[in-house]
Chain A
């Protein structure tokens, strides 16, 4: 990266900051930086409160706990406890695929709520919650558990959902998990992940640790894969092919039985570090299960990850990994041969949640594309340290970027592709800049694994090279 380009990007940051009131500019300055190669972190502050009034992209703890971690567990009924909105807006929006029959033995795509009214706020909702749990037993008798996902009012009116859950757990003999994920807790989705992990630890994993299980030396658990567009399946297929036995998926297409098996694996494989590292650390401390971060985006990282995973096992698995790589690499090579000429040299800006802003970088690299800007909604400092392994000198880094900053950065850097969320998609496209949603895979996917890389590549090509981008200017308008 030339000195000039870096200086230009720094100047761009200054220019954007000038639009803020002084106090705000000072705060935001700490979250924006141009990465200097060799540094051990990205030089940005993270995981602090968003500034009122500047249109953060972030969500809340409920979104992290219900929307991300617990919601995909398919044979549980997840109750959005409180007023109707939170459950409504998160209803069937994450595309966590699962096998099962809706309303019979699976509830992932439903909106189940206590629909608080004014009287519930005034008199408290514990009685309603207890009654609602009984009604769930009647209406959905095949459920294997219930989670109570607290919305803002619950923590403010002094409800004791833990007491209700405890009583009902005893009565029903199954998991009734009280999750204190009120949206005002913490600064983003991230605390919601943490709270969700803790409840999983206390109400599922530890309680089930005594259950019998016929283990093998090759048992692994996939952690932090929410099966968006089928990601976890496209990952599982590779692990099984190399000879491992996947005894649980956390939490995409997961069942309670899989969650309960947390203490039984030989190795925990974690994809989304940010949202589920907590439970991995717990399983390591309490049950001595090691954990390993892996990256199944793009053939370079997939092969690297498969070998790293295999290194934890015997030669049979190591050979298995080589066999898997040898089987799929030609397909990946054919994909690259077909698409790389169309994508080579294209510049991309990313802004996603807590993992993808770094994890997808090498998949783009496999296609000859370059990440020129990246940032996270809810990362912590350890994520920004990990990011340095993926990004190049001079990359623009933005933490908890405001829509205003992001728009200015896109306008000035004019990337060939932006990868971010639904809220950013259409505004970016109005600017004539191609876009792919990197939360929901833009209704496509899977993007994990070799099968996913093919789809990922197709999708990036159809976005970048769509003829529609050549039509944005009316011919009678002077250029």
Chain B
């Protein structure tokens, strides 16, 4: 008997016990599955160039795409505003999924409501659901703002949020002056990063439209969809404070996705103050830290007369330098010595570890700006990027990436894959492997199947805890990324050298 009170074995061990191994063996007679030979032969075949070619000729089938849909980004963006309730107009299952998805990554509650549209709403439209939903949400959760995004059903039947919200106000669902931002976020266009952009723009326009801009000196920073926002936004604020810059972080989820366990559940916490959102119209400039998360938002800010600039998830030396230089140029504030010293420490760390990273090959997948930012840092360390993939990357992104690779002699091995999925990545890594893979938890299947160690550095990270609490942006973030990568390289080396004991060195 495998189980005893003194030694309780759960799933990780229980099924390796002989009783269960026997059960698996005997179950096979009922399964009608392929013979071991057939399976082994197909398993070998999917690692070949021939299969890669077939795999890349797919036109209709998408397998393991590294992207989510628009409203997820909208819910995430909404969570970053003061006492703002994310509100999905559509089927309720969507909302359950968004909440679960964000919760599994942050290990934090995520609040959002739905208008629970069903068959009758599909026939008659969802206006009554929206009217009732706003009224209930306003009374029960007492938000300061409601941020509506749409899911498929509402988009396909063509529900008009502008008209619906106006009607809801007329019917008294929410007071006339209560802020309701709304964005159409069809899941069959773009991905979560587009939905993020749509919601940020919707919130800004809710407060900015019809207002006269009084140009001031503050800077708006839009962080973008970022699973590391808890650590990163705090790091950003520290940098901006160190420079003495007055700023508004537009959508800041660092508190609501990091509340304490002290006996109180805070459904809302922190976030960009609504008065600051209104005042953000007067900012001198709006910076987007992730270009492809903020295209519409930047256009909008620019149309209001603000200077705009965008970055690609700035981390490491050069990218952080550019951010600071730009901040200094726009605000006239000098870059303080404290940050210069931090820069020097990062360069120091890179020099210390250089020998272990130089020439190592890495593939990267994730959102477009993340892939760009990490690739740039890898190049700075003399590492060689190989396959760089963003399922939600555009042609423009691919061009940005190509230019980046060309800028460094270490970029020659780099191949950019826009719009491809992780089953494509599997073929790429099976035929032209890199030594390491950087991405999110979904990469663990590639790690297992191909034996390429995975370094988890981007959303979603479901199967490891707390990574998102520590910054990966800026110089400090560069240090954390460097350490994470280096730990993996040396852990792998230790495991490999432990087999013989040769090179299993105490000092590295």
B-binding residues in A (CB < 8 A) = 19-21, 23-24, 49-63, 75, 82-86, 88-91, 93, 97, 99-105, 109-118, 120-121, 128-129, 131-132, 135-136, 138-139, 141-142, 144, 151-153, 155-157, 183-187, 189, 229-230, 233-234, 236-237, 240, 246-249, 253, 255-258, 261, 327-328, 331, 334-335, 337-338, 402-404, 407, 421-432, 444-446, 450-451, 454-455, 457-458, 468, 472-474
- Asked whether any CB of chain A lies closer than 8 Å to the CB of B217, the reply is no
Contacting pair A118 B189 (CB below 8 A): yes
If the complex has contacts A84-B191, A445-B10, A472-B261, are A423 and B109 also in contact, measured as CB distance less than 8 A?
Answer: yes
If the complex has contacts A156-B156, A183-B94, A430-B264, are A53 and B140 also in contact, measured as CB distance less than 8 A?
Answer: yes
Most chain-B CB neighbours within 10 Å: which of A131, A153, A429, A446? A153
- Asked whether any CB of chain A lies closer than 8 Å to the CB of B487, the reply is no
Q: Which residue of B lies closest to A185 (CB)?
A: B119
Contacting pair B8 A55 (CB below 8 A): no
Partner of A426, one of B38, B71, B107, B186: B107
- Asked whether any CB of chain A lies closer than 8 Å to the CB of B141, the reply is yes
A-binding residues in B (CB < 8 A) = 1-5, 8-11, 14-15, 19-20, 23-24, 26-27, 30-34, 38-39, 42-43, 46, 54-55, 58-65, 67-69, 71-72, 87, 90-94, 96-101, 103-104, 107-119, 121-122, 129-130, 132-141, 151-153, 156-157, 186-189, 191, 259-267, 423, 426, 442, 445, 449
Contacting pair A257 B140 (CB below 8 A): no
Partner of A89, one of B98, B122, B136, B157: B98
Contacting pair B111 A403 (CB below 8 A): yes
Contacting pair A21 B135 (CB below 8 A): yes
Contacting pair A187 B118 (CB below 8 A): yes
Contacting pair A153 B152 (CB below 8 A): yes
Contacting pair B445 A451 (CB below 8 A): no
Contacting pair A422 B30 (CB below 8 A): no
If the complex has contacts A183-B91, A429-B261, A430-B261, are A157 and B156 also in contact, measured as CB distance less than 8 A?
Answer: yes
Chain B residues within an 8 Å CB radius of A86: 93-94, 97
**Distance in angstroms between the alpha carbons of A84 and B156 in the assembled complex:** 15
Chain A residues within an 8 Å CB radius of B69: 83-85, 88
Q: Which residue of B lies closest to A458 (CB)?
A: B8
Chain B residues within an 8 Å CB radius of A258: 30-32
If the complex has contacts A53-B87, A83-B188, A139-B54, are A334 and B24 also in contact, measured as CB distance less than 8 A?
Answer: no
**Distance in angstroms between the alpha carbons of A116 and B65 in the assembled complex:** 12
Contacting pair A451 B3 (CB below 8 A): yes
Contacting pair B32 A257 (CB below 8 A): yes
Q: Which residue of A lies closest to B68 (CB)?
A: A88
Chain A residues within an 8 Å CB radius of B65: 84, 88, 111, 113, 115
Partner of B100, one of A93, A100, A236, A451: A93
Most chain-B CB neighbours within 10 Å: which of A62, A334, A404, A427? A427
Most chain-B CB neighbours within 10 Å: which of A53, A91, A120, A451? A53
Q: Which residue of B lies closest to A426 (CB)?
A: B109
Chain B residues within an 8 Å CB radius of A21: 135-136, 139
**Distance in angstroms between the alpha carbons of A317 and B259 in the assembled complex:** 55
Partner of B96, one of A113, A249, A423: A423
In the complex, 25 of the A-B residue pairs with CB atoms within 8 angstroms, ordered by the A residue number, are A21-B139, A24-B136, A49-B118, A52-B115, A83-B186, A84-B67, A84-B68, A91-B442, A97-B15, A99-B24, A103-B426, A110-B64, A121-B188, A135-B60, A135-B61, A152-B151, A152-B153, A184-B118, A186-B118, A338-B5, A407-B265, A423-B110, A424-B109, A430-B262, A458-B10
Chain A residues within an 8 Å CB radius of B110: 423
**Distance in angstroms between the alpha carbons of A105 and B31 in the assembled complex:** 12
Contacting pair B188 A431 (CB below 8 A): no
> Nearest chain A CB to B158's CB is how many angstroms away?
10
**Distance in angstroms between the alpha carbons of A104 and B37 in the assembled complex:** 12
Chain A residues within an 8 Å CB radius of B121: 184
Contacting pair A132 B261 (CB below 8 A): no
Contacting pair A454 B5 (CB below 8 A): yes
Partner of A135, one of B5, B59, B263: B59
Q: Which residue of B lies closest to A339 (CB)?
A: B5
Contacting pair B261 A55 (CB below 8 A): no
If the complex has contacts A55-B112, A152-B151, A404-B141, are A112 and B61 also in contact, measured as CB distance less than 8 A?
Answer: yes
> Nearest chain A CB to B135's CB is how many angstroms away?
6
**Distance in angstroms between the alpha carbons of A121 and B157 in the assembled complex:** 11
Chain A residues within an 8 Å CB radius of B33: 75, 100, 105, 255, 257
> Nearest chain A CB to B96's CB is how many angstroms away?
4
Chain B residues within an 8 Å CB radius of A55: 111-114, 140-141
Chain A residues within an 8 Å CB radius of B138: 53
Partner of A183, one of B58, B153, B189, B260: B153
Chain A residues within an 8 Å CB radius of B97: 59, 63, 85-86, 89-90
Chain B residues within an 8 Å CB radius of A427: 109, 265, 267
Q: Which residue of A lies closest to B422 (CB)?
A: A111
